[in-house]
């Protein structure tokens, strides 16, 4: 199970506290060495940025563009994969070891927030401006 759930795939969590939230698969583990189920470490957006208009000032835009991230290990059965894949998000420092220590997890969330906000506010490459990245930052409506 999970042959197409590779690193960079955008998925939707289907259960738990973050049900309905989008996340990027950081790493996927089919083995049951450290957990009783096949799982994936995901990094996602807990609170999406708000809508911004042209009339708003720079301060207000900065305030509305905040992103609150999360990092979690999720059972593969509770992930709904999408067709979207992102490539150049710097998620190298996130792994199973970070989830065990609260301080490391907090630091990882801070760096994630910086990475997500940088990609959202200043899309530089063609990958940043692609439909895949836009889908990730857009709030899921259902």
The helix/strand/coil state of 69 is: strand
pLDDT digits (tens, 9 = 90+) for 50-92: 988 999 999 998 899 899 999 999 999 999 999 999 887 778 7
- The arrangement of strands across the sheet holding 68-75 comes to 68-75, 39-47, 22-29, 9-13, 79-85
pLDDT digits (tens, 9 = 90+) for 87-123: 877 787 788 888 889 999 999 999 999 988 888 888 7
Beta bridge partners of 13: 79
Model-level pTM?
A: 0.87
- Environment class of 69 (CB within 10 Å of its CB; exposed 0-12, middle 13-18, buried 19+): buried
């Amino acid at each position: 199970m999970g042959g197409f759930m590779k690193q960079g795939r955008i998925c939707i969590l289907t259960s738990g506290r973050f049900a309905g939230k989008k996340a990027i698969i950081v790493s996927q583990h089919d083995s049951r060495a450290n957990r009783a189920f096949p799982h994936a470490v995901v990094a996602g957006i807990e609170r999406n940025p708000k809508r911004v208009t042209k009339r708003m000032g720079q301060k207000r835009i900065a305030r509305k563009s905040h992103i609150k991230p999360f990092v979690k290990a999720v059972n593969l059965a509770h992930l709904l994969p999408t067709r979207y894949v992102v490539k150049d998000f710097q998620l190298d420092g996130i792994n199973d070891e970070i989830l065990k220590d609260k301080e490391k997890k907090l630091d990882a969330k801070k760096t994630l927030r910086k990475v997500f906000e940088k990609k959202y506010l200043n899309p530089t490459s063609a990958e940043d401006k692609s439909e895949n990245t836009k889908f990730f930052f857009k709030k899921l409506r259902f």
